[in-house]
């Protein structure tokens, strides 16, 4: 399924494929486990079915204007959290709401960061004390007092089918 977006123009879209490779590797491990007899066929079938890719939809709420852009980054592991996004998009706003979908997302844990980049400079501007000046949000709507939240707080699970999350920017 291609990426979709409502209420904005997509200026830049990048899509990662690492998740697809992970899903294929897991299916090969399941076949080996069944052949070796260490995993019953019924368990392997249930596990393989749960590994089907799904669609992730991110709805962004709390946008106060159509000024600037919304930047969404989806991270696929604790190791890549806040460093290397598996999926990312930069959206020009036409109305003060935002919804973005990406398909063929491998089942697993993910974390999302949203930034309302008001001045379109591609970064999260901060004041003299290092506090963000532009609205932002994380999956599970976690807010950290000193720095970004830990992966364990922002992590959520994408399963086969549709997974929809809602992030409020403040």
> What is the tens place of the pLDDT at every residue in 14-34?
434 343 333 333 433 333 333
Q: Domain 4-17+53-168 has what CATH class?
A: mainly beta
Domain boundaries, the chain: 4-17+53-168, 21-50
Alpha-carbon distance values, 20 to 46, 75, 111, 157 (Å): 19, 14, 17, 16
> What is the tens place of the pLDDT at every residue in 142-168?
998 889 999 999 999 999 999 999 999
Mean pLDDT of 120-145: 94
pTM above 0.85, yes or no: no
Alpha-carbon distance values, 24 to 19, 20, 48, 81 (Å): 9, 6, 10, 22
pLDDT score at 51? 74
Choose between 51 and 118: higher pLDDT: 118
């Amino acid at each position: 399924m291609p990426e979709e977006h409502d209420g904005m123009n997509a200026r830049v879209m990048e899509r990662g494929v690492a998740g697809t490779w992970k899903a294929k590797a897991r299916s090969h491990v399941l076949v080996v486990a069944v052949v070796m007899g260490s995993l019953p066929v019924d368990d392997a079938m249930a596990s393989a079915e749960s590994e089907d890719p799904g669609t992730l939809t991110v709805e962004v709420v709390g946008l106060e204007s159509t000024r600037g852009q919304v930047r969404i980054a989806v991270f696929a592991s604790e190791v890549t959290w806040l460093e290397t996004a598996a999926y990312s998009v930069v959206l020009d706003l036409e109305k003060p709401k935002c919804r973005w979908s990406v398909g063929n997302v491998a089942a697993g844990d993910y974390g999302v960061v949203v930034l309302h980049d008001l001045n379109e400079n591609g970064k999260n501007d901060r004041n003299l004390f290092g506090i963000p000046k532009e609205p932002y949000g994380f999956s599970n709507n976690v807010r950290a007092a000193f720095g970004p939240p830990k992966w364990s707080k922002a992590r959520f699970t994408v399963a086969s089918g549709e997974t929809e999350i809602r992030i409020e920017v403040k």
